[in-house]
Structure 1
């Protein structure tokens, strides 16, 4: 089983410029992501970046990185660019978010395991049970509806399903909601195919790229995790991460 992890890392960020290089307890964010990914079953971990500063930094701490086209519209496109540059053949490619310094190796392994059977899925991602109303109604935490086989039917920033017989404060008591964790796995041929798709109407409505894949007939298998991850999007997130690192040191 040959699984490659690719971490897209852009320098530009509206809310946090230079985000991959932000210091978190003496190490950059991108270094922490790489180190966590290396603890998993992945055979190789590569950073895909659009910036020479990030490239040099990753090489400086002994990581592997490639320089990709700065005009890629999404992390998926950047991952495919990097994979092509590597010139290798993998059974699956894992897209690891470059702003998740606390990613758990077990979460990566859960996706890799889905590709070890006789018939590998086209795509895979992680889901996690929703535990609070804040999670359920936050538009920043996409929710997902699954079919009976664990394949995603739809992703939304709104809680689905809408339970018309109950007040919204009762929804969690009467239905098991799942939120999406943005870790993706692809078969190489499927990754090549989805990067050729134009933006879809559902994707544009929800601002969720995975809806483009569903709308075009691709199937996304899910694995469930109970583990929490912490994404870094704002200066406030950086401070929370630094406090957490001090508590766990």
Structure 2
């Protein structure tokens, strides 16, 4: 098998319990659950051999099987999506070339984000993990800052070196930049898109490591790799006119629905 996409989904989210089953209305008014929309996004990616939903909750399992998804049950002890993906691969007894973690709260993830991510990892044979980053427009940067000022944990930002290796990821808006940017002006901030591509060896090693201090402080699973000295390749992706946002808080539901209206996405 070449590429497996796993969609980790848990019901008992600290910030937003039941989030995978929350419904979003598209441009036509049709409502679909977050996990259904994430599944549809995964199925649109080219060059993928298999897509599975990975969960520990029977409500999510029953719902996902109801729309035709393949579901892999995992332990409730998984601390994050990366651990759930690792257990999924182990449960399936597979050794794919690349495992993609398409988290179940990013239904607006375009197929080319994932396709470019897989291509980026393939083109960097020494890289063990890769993740997409999207240059934030002035408007997106302002939205990220507004979330933080309001006390909401919104999107994640990333900084990386000239070699595209990740230096740090944070729920704060980094790097700091003085002044304002026009809505459609590129800013120096990169929005981290919550998708990961792993080589199976790196993914299998991840659950054997203890949570790191930075991972606990930020609540960002990818920091465990950095704290262990493992590099994360940041693959810059292009929006191609598409808006992108993740569903982190209940307040994000109307924001995502408005984006789908504006982009005529059903």
Which TM class, normalised by the smaller chain length?
0.7 to 0.9
Point out where structure 2 has 5 or more consecutive residues left out of the alignment: 25-29, 149-153
Which moved further from structure 2: 183-192 or 107-116?
107-116
Which moved further from structure 2: 15-24 or 74-83?
15-24
Q: Tell me, in whole angstroms, the C-alpha distance in 1 between the residues paired with 2:73 and 2:218.
A: 30
How many residues of Structure 1 are paired with residues of Structure 2 in the alignment? 245
Point out where structure 1 has 5 or more consecutive residues left out of the alignment: none
Matched, 1:186 2:201: no
Which moved further from structure 2: 11-20 or 181-190?
11-20
Secondary structure of the equivalent of 1:177?
Answer: strand
2:52 corresponds to which residue?
46
How much does 1:15 deviate?
A: 4.2
Q: Tell me, in whole angstroms, the C-alpha distance in 2 between the residues paired with 1:161 and 1:9.
A: 30
How much does 1:210 deviate?
A: 1.7
Structure 1 residues 38-117: aligned runs within 5 Å? 38-41=43-46, 42-117=48-123
In 2 relative to 1, CA 230–159 (structure 1 residues): closer, same or farther, beyond 3 Å? closer
In 2 relative to 1, CA 155–233 (structure 1 residues): closer, same or farther, beyond 3 Å? closer
How much does 1:86 deviate?
A: 1.3
Cα displacement string for residues 127-184 of structure 1 (whole angstroms, at most 9, x for unaligned residues): 1112224256354333222111111112233444456xxxx32699997332211111
Matched, 1:126 2:132: yes
- The structure 1 residue matched to 2:164, chosen from 150, 171, 175, is 150
* Contact in 2 for aligned 1:130/1:136 (Cα 8 Å): no
Q: Tell me, in whole angstroms, the C-alpha distance in 1 between the residues paired with 2:85 and 2:143.
A: 29
- The structure 2 residue matched to 1:238, chosen from 246, 250, 253, is 253
How much does 1:40 deviate?
A: 0.5
Which moved further from structure 2: 190-199 or 235-244?
235-244
* Contact in 2 for aligned 1:127/1:179 (Cα 8 Å): yes
Cα displacement string for residues 43-83 of structure 1 (whole angstroms, at most 9, x for unaligned residues): 11100011112112211211111111012111111111111
Which moved further from structure 2: 168-177 or 15-24?
168-177
How much does 1:225 deviate?
A: 1.7
Q: Tell me, in whole angstroms, the C-alpha distance in 2 between the residues paired with 1:114 and 1:3.
A: 13
Scaled by the length of structure 1, what TM-score is found? 0.87
Scaled by the length of structure 2, what TM-score is found? 0.82
How much does 1:95 deviate?
A: 0.5
How much does 1:241 deviate?
A: 3.3
